[in-house]
Amino acid sequence: MIAGKIVMIIGIIMFAIGLVLFYSIELGQTNPVLRLIKNVGTFVGLSGMGVALAGILLYLINKNEPPIKENFDV
């Protein structure tokens, strides 16, 4: 259960770093290094969204369910 929370946090951090890298470079740059940084920001941001979703699903799958109480009294 703790693994899901850690993966979620890592995904959110990756998404935030991707946003910073993407939006820190102005649109229409011709410098190849700046374009590379912007493209890396896109990749890291989208990957972070996927990692965060995987963390949410991992958390939900490993969540402890209360035992089912069967009541046979009529």
Number of domains the chain is built from = 1
Averaged pLDDT for residues 45-74? 87
Note the pLDDT of residue 6: 94
In a domain, 73, yes or no: no
Q: Mean pLDDT across the chain, nearest whole number?
A: 89
Instruction: State the SS3 of 4-64.
Output: HHHHHHHHHHHHHHHHHHHHCCCCCCCCHHHHHHHHHHHHHHHHHHHHHHHHHHHHHHCCC
| pLDDT tens digits, 19-47 | 999 999 888 878 899 999 999 999 999 99
Q: Is 0.85 topped by the overall pTM? A: no
Res. 72: pLDDT tops 80? no
Query: What count of Cα atoms within 13 Å lies in the side-chain half-sphere of residue 38?
Result: 13
Which domain covers residue 55, as residue numbers?
A: 2-61
Note whether residue 56 is domain-resident.
Answer: yes
Contact residues for 3 (Cβ-Cβ < 8 A; gap 6+): 58, 62
